[in-house]
Chain A
Amino acid sequence: MSLKQSLSYITFLSLIFSTGCGSYSEFSSEATKDYSRAEMQKFAKYMVAGKQLYTTHCSNCHQESGQGLGKLYPPLAKSDFMMQNVNRTACLIKNGIKGEIIVNNITYNQEMPALEELTNLEVAEIATYIYNSWGNERGFVTVKEVETSLSNCQ
């Protein structure tokens, strides 16, 4: 085998390993078990981008762990409020929210600021991340869903 040949062989092998289903295992859950390879690949991309956006825009209040802080900032991990309604979540990520809300039987009442500069894709990435982390398993929140949600915000 020439050097060139063996190099391309190695590249080929590593490609197989890096795109094989196995490498997405950290993102797979009950919700994603029927996803095709291509869907899984896209899902993983959203999760990675979503995490980064979450760290920048959300984690100071809701914490890295999604646990929130005391009774000031509500948890996103296993939040019944969030699970009830994805449309509402897309809207509040973009437009903020204020007034009393009840999350897992605790009343919160603090203003969450709007993030109007987020694109629909970014909202979808963040939503996908928070709906599939810390024990949440909802599966993909697509850009299409977000578009529909955002055009129907209250």
Chain B
Amino acid sequence: MKIYFKTFIAIIFGVSLLGCDPAEKQNKNEEFPILGRKQFVERTVNGETVVDTIDHTIPDFRLVNQDSIWVTPKSFENKVYVADFFFTSCPTICPTMKKEMLRVYNAYKNNNSVAIISHTIDPKHDTVALLKDFAQRLDVEAPKWNFVTGNKEEIYELGQKGYMVTAMEDENEEGGYIHSGAFILVDKEKHVRGVYDGTNSNDVDRLIKDIDRLLATYNEPKTKS
């Protein structure tokens, strides 16, 4: 009986190892996909139809940051950046998101290839002056970390169509808005490369690893340098 039991345990153990191993390997070598819906565009070359695949890219935007400076896609030229959506008076997930984003900020404080943009979804309340105060109270600065405001519809559309996250008003929700706690990683070509839960420190650890990984694809040094 005892021997059977031991064999049983050994088998279970072995199977569980087998089960894990390939998955883990796959994880390690996992590609770094470009997220979002692809578009297929047909065009004619020398009388033949070819189909081009166009990856989802962040559309143009023009918003203003805590220093009253315009922020556009050009502001992130040659940078990878992390985007999120919040509002300063948000009582629920935003404080945690800001604490987590602060970790990202500090990890890349001296690395000019990484930037952050936090969009307010309550631009009526979150004026430039208020965002300035907010940034100062967090002890962070633009252009590394931009807190941006602007036209409400533009911000909502950018969130939904560009970064593929929820951001909208909803009077039934605590604080008056629903919005996702996502952190979105965008590469230098304006492609979305990852979406992370900004309220979960494990996921934000993963984000920091992915930023390093992404920088490495541009042959750039990582966090520590």
Contacts and interface: CB of A to CB of B under 8 A. Distances in A.
A72 B134 contact: yes
A70 B95 contact: no
Contacts of B98: 69, 72
Interface string A55-77: 00000110100000111110000
Contacts of A73: 95
B137 interface: yes
Report the interface size class on chain A: 10 to 19
A65 to B, nearest CB: 11
A113 B99 contact: no
B89 A69 contact: no
A61 B92 CA distance: 8
A60 B95 CA distance: 6
Contact of B96 (A60, A71, A72, A109): A60
Interface string A87-122: 000000000000000000000011101000000000
Interface string B78-101: 000000000011011101101100
A72 B89 contact: no
Interface of B is mostly: helix
A70 B91 contact: no
Contacts of B95: 60-61, 69, 72-73
A108 to B, nearest CB: 8
Interface string B13-57: 000000000000000000000000000000000000000000000
B93 A71 contact: no
A145 B134 CA distance: 35
Contacts of A111: 89
A71 B139 contact: yes
A70 B92 contact: no
A70 B138 contact: yes
A85 to B, nearest CB: 23
A106 to B, nearest CB: 9
B136 A69 contact: no
Contacts of B136: 71
Nearest to A114: B91
B92 A60 contact: yes
Contacts of A110: 88-89, 137
A113 B92 CA distance: 10
Interface in B92-125: 92-93, 95-96, 98-99, 102
Interface of A: 60-61, 63, 69-73, 109-111, 113
Given A61-B91, A110-B89, 10 more contacts: A60-B92, A61-B95, A63-B99, A69-B98, A69-B99, A70-B138, A110-B88, A110-B137, A111-B89, A113-B91
Interface of B: 88-89, 91-93, 95-96, 98-99, 102, 133-134, 136-139, 175
23 contacts: A60-B92, A60-B93, A60-B95, A61-B91, A61-B95, A69-B95, A69-B98, A69-B138, A70-B137, A70-B138, A70-B139, A71-B136, A71-B137, A71-B138, A71-B139, A72-B95, A72-B98, A72-B134, A109-B133, A110-B88, A110-B89, A110-B137, A113-B175
